[in-house]
Structures are given as C-alpha cells and as structure tokens.
Amino acid sequence: MTQDVRLYELHGDDWSLILEQDGNSIPIWRHFGVRVDTTGVPTARSCRGTSTFSMDDDQRFDILPTGGSGWFGPPTISINNPNGAPIDVQFSTSNIVSSEDQLGVELIDEVSDVRVIILYISRAGAGLEICTSVKNLSDIPFNVARIASAIIPLPAQMSEIISWSGRHNSEFFENRESMPTQGWYRETRHGITGHGGPCGCYVLTNDAGWHQGQVIAMQLVWSGNARLAIEPTDEGDWVAVAEHLIDPSELTVHPASTYSAPPLLLATSSSGRNGVMEKMHSLTRHRIEWPGKKMRARPVHLNSWEACYFAHDEDRTLQLAESAAKLGVERFVLDDGWFQGRDNDKSGLGDWSPDTQKYPEGLSKIAYRANELGMEFGLWIEPEMVNPDSKLYREHPAWVLAAADRDRPTARNQLALDLRLEEVCDHLFRAIDNLLSETSISYLKWDHNRHHSSSGGAAQVRGSYELFKRVRSAHPNVEIESCAGGGGRIDAGIINYTHRFWASDNLDAVSRFAMQRGFLAFMPPEVMGAHVGAIPSHATGRSQSLGFRAAIACQGHLGVELDPASLTTQERSELSQWINFYKDWRHIIHGGSTILGEASDGVLWQAQGLDDELLLWVIRKDHSRFRHAQPITLPFATDRNWEISLLRHAGQTGLSLPNAGSAIKEMSSKPLKLSGSWLAGSGLPVPSLAAENALIYHLKAVS
Ligand code: GLA
C-alpha cells in the first residue's frame, strides 16, 4: 500500500469485508467473502493494467457508483428537483469512521449537496447489516426516485442463484437458475412482501450444496415493493443491487433532512447453504423484540379458523377453548368472524368491536375462560383493510388506497386503507388499543389479505410499520403474528414488530415440508407458525396421517388448526402426545441451529438444535424404489461421539416399525452410540420407510 491508500477491514467469524480508500476518494470494494489476512496486499490500482475503450481514469467498483462517473452497471441513486429535473449526483470525496464492528462511510457530492451515509455493521460476527441513508445539505427540497440499500460485488466463481416465488397456499417455491449472462431481476409490486418470501436470494459457487461451498445470502429489511438485480460486469464478475421501490414523486427530502433506505442483511459462508442460513437466522433473530427482552418457550396454539371459519359464537368458541385446553394447548386464538357484521368475508372489516349477537358479553368472557383454562387468549385482526360494506367505509370512503375518480377494484371483497394518512393511523391505533385495553388479549394474529392494486408506495409500508410500532410500545407484552393470506408478509422488516409468521394457509404436511425449508432460508424455526390441520387438507384435498402432520408441524412453532371434537378419542390422545412431545423438545428445536440435508432415494433430513444436542427428522415423501434404506450421512456430526435414540415414528403405519432390523428397533428403548466419523462418513442406519413417513431421532454428544 502507498501512504495515501488505506484498507478498511471488518471481520466476522469466517468472513471479511475489505474496502480500499485512496486519499479521500470514494472507497472501492476489495473483498467480500471468506476471512482474509490483508498483509502485503498491493493497491487495487497497481493490480490493474489498462484496457481499450475504457475510461481514462480507471473506473473501479466503488461502494455507491453513479452514472456520470463512468459506471455502466445497475443504477444506484436517482434524485430529482421538485420540478422533476434530474439532479446529477457524483460523489467525489468521502470520510470513513471505523471501529471493530462497524464501518461508516460518508459520501460527499459538493456540487449537488447530496450526502450519502453507508454503515456496514457486523452483527455478532455472523453477517452484515448495510444501512444507507441520503441527506439533503442543499437549501431546496429534492425527490428521491431510487436509492440502493446496497450494491455488492459477487465473485466470478459464483454460478447459481436460488430464489423463491409463491402464491397463496403455495409459498416459498424454490427456483434455481444459473448466473445471468445479461441480467437477473426479482421485482415485486404487490404492495406487500409477497408469498415468495422476502426480497432476497442465495448465490452459490458450483461446488456448493447444503454443507459445503461458498454461498452468499441477502435479504432486504422491507415489507413492500422491492427489486433485487444481479448483473454481469464486463470484468467477469457480478454485481448485486437491492432496493425498495419508491413511487414517482412520493419521497421528498427537505433541507437538512435524511431519508434512510431499508437495510440489507448480507451473509456469506464457505459451509454451504446451511452455513449461510445459520447466519441469516442470527441476523433476523437480532431484529426480534421479545416481550421481556427474551424469547420464552413458544406456547402451543389452537387457532379457530379451520375449525369453524366464520361459524362461531360464544358457545361454540367456549366449547373449542375447552377442548383445546384438554389437548394441552397453551394459547387459544380466535380467528376471523368475531366482530360486527362479519358472518362471511363480504362485510365488517374495519368495524373492530365484537358482534354483540354472537358475543353478548364481548370477548372478555372468552378471554377469561381461556385464562381460567390455563391458556393465553389471542385475537385475529386485519387493521389495514376495510370492506366497502362496513360502517368505517360508509363514514370514511376517502380513507382507502384508490386513485381519484377511478374504480376501486376489491380483492376478497376488501380495500386497503391508506396508511399514509395520519387520521387513518390514529383511528386504527385507537381501535386496537381499545381492544387490547378492554380484554385480556396477549396475542394478535395481524392479517393483511390483499395486494395493493392502487399503490401506496413506500410510505404505505412505513405507515404500517408505525402502526405496529405504536401498538407494540403501548402494549409491549402483546406478541404479534404476521399473516397475509398465509405467508404474504414474511421478512426482516416486519419481524421488528412481530414474533411469529403464519407461514401458509396450506396445512398439507407434504406441501408444508417443502415450504418450511424455503421459510428457513430466511427465518429461524421458532417464528415459523406450523399447525396440525384436519384431513383432507382444506388447501390440497390430500390426507396424511396425524403423526406425519404433527411431526412436520413440530419443526416450527406448533399449533392445532382443527376442531378436536371432530377427532376420535384415540386421535385426540395421539395429538395430545404430540403436543407433549413438542413441549418436551421445544427448548432444543428453537433458538439453535437448523441443518438441512438430502439423503439418497428422495429421503430428506433436517436437524434442529444446539451444538451437542439435536433432534433429527428423517422424512420420506414418496414411495421408495429400493428394498432397503441407505444409511444417512450426517456431515455435522464429525468430531464427537453421539448417542442416538429413536424418539418417534410418524406415518400411516403407526408407531411401530414392524420390518426394521433389531438394532434399529432397539434405538427406541436404548440409545445407539456411534462415532461422529461413522455418522459423517458411513451414516446413520435407518429403516425403510413408507411414503409420507417420518422418524425423529434425538442426538446427544457424549465423550
Ligand atoms: C387469511 C389467513 C387465514 C385466516 C383468514 C381469516 O386467509 O391466512 O389464516 O386468518 O385470513 O379470514
């Protein structure tokens, strides 16, 4: 390095971010990836030769490249005068402040008086939170049309992108694509996050899999329209840009004011998808604000929705609560249909007081009885919405997201309220505050059941966040579940205010299993709402055994979504046993690592737990082609000895394993001791399984 050139470094457990600054110029990217030692590294300029048809002043990849400076990659910032004329932004100098876990860079454009501050924050060594904000130092306002949350280099050896897409009842469908030769974009414009999960993706080297190879994962902290672009550069690597979408003219930054783009969570690991998933879990866990500052054991739910839909009243709900308590349920959640005018999905949304015909004494009686039965009481609401057939809409037709003098197309017979309006937010806060103050409600399932056909832009998302924030600060002990027609609003933005996600309205365990793996790419299992539903599944019409449904639901935050009275006595007892199983093991299932894997012949496995104690699910979805099952290699097990017990067999064939070998049968009563090297190299011997069967093992490290 020459005297004027300086490296700025941020190191995590096994990764490094290295920026280089020449004098007071804009820092350029030198490295983001595996942990490196920078001793002896020559300057970037000295490593580059010249090339034809290039800028004479060599344009290297800086941390917020802009158009006029000779950047031809995806745009990062676009700012206009209030009259619409573009303001040319080109940063010429920068100041950097660095500490052990943070780099802060101020980018200065003296001509336009635009400043950008980018913070690279290392979170517990796991990964980065990148926060970008733009400041107006001029004496006139400007409009921000776009501001990248982050632009990052992706190394030349990356070869594949994994992203997720989805729809209602089919969330988190995994897509795999090669790195683009032109450009790859994931852009969502539904007003909310969408059923394909957060704006994010995984980028992999060609040797990467669940357990090995370099993977970079990113997730935007945002619950609205967003864009992720990956483009090849003409230097042979790639560049990724993540941004939230801003509607034309919606965002004015006044003199001396600052606008902050949503942060980007960024992680990299050379231990494959599992390695980077663990880091993503750390980054998202960091954002959750648990009541009392600490996650307590995730209580078993019973949610009334699929048990009775809209058909309930005080008697019916009390009956449901009684039978829930007998099963061992710890939180009773009354879903849609409890408020004025809500006998179906055509009316009532917006009128948030209990239907006095169905609930003559309000909801207090239900809450009181639930508490008496040893359960918390939770309630469904959908505050951001209104049915045109409601008192609220009749009184305030102007409170919805709609273009003037245009039709107001409904979806599920409802319109979205305009959360850019202060009076709407105040009204909603009062409505929720009243509910929470009048009744002993410790949990809200907060739904959002349509896309925004008339856009509310970024301000609508921020309006929702503000409402969540106000409710949380007025009622800090109330937990909130984020739901949007199942999993339409699952992201690291909303998780700041919520404690659980309703992952999908599809409770079919075969569909769920795949979706849950997608969910886990971004979020930890303790916030994954997973319920045992009735058969046939209301979403798919398929039926699986009670055990299989329960085994899959036990991977997340367990609940029941059926009427226990519709089960036989034997089924109720089986369900109750599963609830006890979950209670016994949730301290292992939640809060630790999640490791996903694939064995041969279509068998999938999933381990959840701590360093020295895990539960392992072995799952067969389809019929096997072979007479015997192959052992399952467990690469995470290597350096210790393990005692392995078979805790549960779930599937159509019941709780016994009639055809298993004796050593395997014995694992139900006496742990089998195996070395980690055997488990990792040769594998755990497992029995042949029928389709839609699962085994759950307990693994304990021993000396
Ligand atoms: C959405 C949710 C369901 C249920 C209904 C109630 O569809 O995903 O779980 O709460 O709304 O109307």
Substitution site in 167, 305, 338, 384 for ligand 1 pocket (most atoms within 8 Å of beta carbon): 305
User: Is the Cβ atom of 32 under 6 angstroms away from ligand 1?
Assistant: no
Tell me the pLDDT tens digit for each residue of 145-197: 999 999 999 999 999 999 999 999 999 999 999 999 999 999 999 999 999 99
* Ligand 1 neighbourhood includes 486 CB (under 6 angstroms): yes
Q: Residue 609: is its pLDDT beyond 50?
A: yes
- Tell me how far apart the alpha carbons of residues 491 and 495 are, in angstroms, rounded to a whole number: 6
Predicted confidence (pLDDT) at residue 486 exceeds the cutoff of 60: yes
- Using the predicted structure, report yes or no on whether residue 599 has a pLDDT greater than 80: yes
Give me the count of residues in the chain.
703
398, 402, 405, 406 alpha-carbon torsion, rounded to 10°? -140
- Kindly report, residue by residue over 521-543, the tens digit of the pLDDT: 999 999 999 999 999 999 999 99
**pTM greater than 0.95:** yes
Q: Is the Cβ–Cβ distance between 393 and 386 less than 8 Å?
A: yes
Is residue 379 in contact with ligand 1, taking CB distance under 6 Å? Answer: no
Residue 654: the pLDDT is: 46
Is residue 656 scored above 70 in pLDDT? no
Q: From the CB of 449, is ligand 1 less than 6 Å away?
A: yes
Unique residue bearing structure tokens 């099952």: 629
Q: What's the gap in Å between 276 CA and the centre of ligand 1? A: 32
Residue type, 172: F
Cα torsion 423, 429, 430, 435: sign: positive
Q: Which helix (H) or strand (E) holds 302?
A: strand 301-303
pLDDT bucket at 476, cuts 50 / 70 / 90: very high
Q: How confident is the model at residue 258 (pLDDT cuts 50, 70, 90)?
A: very high
426 is catalytic: no
Cβ of residue 306 lying under 6 Å from some atom of ligand 1? no
**Neighbouring residues of 371: CB distance < 8 A, sequence distance ≥ 6:** 377, 440
For residue 426, report the distance from its CA to the centre of ligand 1, in Å.
Answer: 25
Ligand 1: distance of its center to the CA of 78 in Å? 39
Torsion of CA 548, 550, 552, 553, to 10 degrees: 160
**Percentage of residues in the chain having pLDDT higher than 90:** 94
545-555 burial, b at 16+ Cβ within 10 Å, e below that, comes to bbbbbbbbbbb
Nearest CA-CA partner of 678 in 649, 658, 699 = 699
Report residue 132 as tokens: 């970008």
Mean pLDDT of the chain: 96
Residues 6+ apart with CB under 8 A from 267: 15, 126, 127, 128, 216, 217, 218, 276, 279, 280, 283
DSSP element (H, E) containing 569: helix 569-589
Can you tell me the distance from the alpha carbon of 432 to that of 436, in angstroms, rounded to the nearest whole number?
6
DSSP SS3 for 303: strand
**What is the Å distance from ligand 1's center to 486 Cα?**
7
Residue 447 Cβ < 6 Å to ligand 1: yes
**Pocket lining: 278 vs ligand 1, CB cutoff 6 Å:** no
Given this model, what pLDDT does residue 13 score? 87
Question: Atom 2 in ligand 1: which residue has the minimum CA distance?
Answer: 485
**Catalytically annotated residue among 336, 355, 505, 508:** 505
Sign of CA dihedral 107, 108, 111, 112: positive
- 339 CA to middle of ligand 1, Å? 15
3-state percent helix, strand, coil for the chain, nearest multiple of 5 = 20, 35, 45
Residue 447 appears among annotated catalytic residues = yes
User: What does the block give as tokens for 266?
Assistant: 């960024």
Is the CB of residue 335 below 6 angstroms from any atom belonging to ligand 1? yes
The rounded distance, in Å, linking the Cα atoms of 552 and 530 is: 8
Q: Which of 335, 351, 418, 447 is catalytic?
A: 447
Predicted pLDDT at 67: 87
> What are the beta bridge partners of residue 128?
122, 266
Tokens of 616: 């392992």
Pocket test for ligand 1, best of 449, 480, 560 (most atoms within 8 A of CB): 449
The rounded percent of the chain whose pLDDT value lies above 70 is 99
Q: How buried is 377 (Cβ within 10 angstroms: 0-12 exposed, 13-18 middle, 19+ buried)?
A: buried
pLDDT of residue 655 exceeding 50, the answer is: no
Q: How far, in Å, is the centroid of ligand 1 from the Cα of 382?
A: 9
Which of the four pLDDT bands, split at 50, 70 and 90, describes residue 59? confident
Q: Strands, DSSP E only, in 306-453?
A: 331-334, 376-381, 385-386, 415-416, 443-446
Please report the pLDDT score of residue 659 as a whole number.
76
Q: Is the CB of 481 under 6 A from ligand 1?
A: no
- CA-nearest residue, atom 12 of ligand 1: 336
Instruction: Report the atom number in ligand 1 closest to the C-alpha of 445.
Output: 10
The mean per-residue pLDDT over the stretch 345-364 comes to: 97
Please check the confidence at residue 20 and state whether its pLDDT lies above 80: yes
Cβ atoms within 10 Å, residue 518: 23
Q: What is the pLDDT of residue 69?
A: 83
Burial of 494 (0-12, 13-18, 19+ CB in 10 A): buried
- The amino acid occupying position 397 is P
pLDDT band at 653 (very low <50, low <70, confident <90, very high): low
**Residue 156 CB: number of other CB atoms within 10 A?**
14
SS3 label, residue 531: strand
388 touches 350 (CB < 8 A): no
- State which amino acid sits at residue 457: G
Whether residue 371 is predicted with pLDDT greater than 60 in this model: the reply is: yes
Cα 107 to ligand 1 centroid, rounded to whole Å: 46
| Token pair for 144 | 């921000």
What does the longest C-alpha to C-alpha distance in the chain come to?
Answer: 81
Rounded to 10°, the helix 509-520/546-553 angle is 10
Per-residue pLDDT band at 657 (split at 50, 70, 90):
low
Q: Ligand 1 atom 4: the closest Cα is on which residue?
A: 305
Q: For residues 683 and 677, what is the distance between their CA atoms, to the nearest angstrom?
A: 9
Q: Is the CB of 483 under 6 A from ligand 1?
A: yes
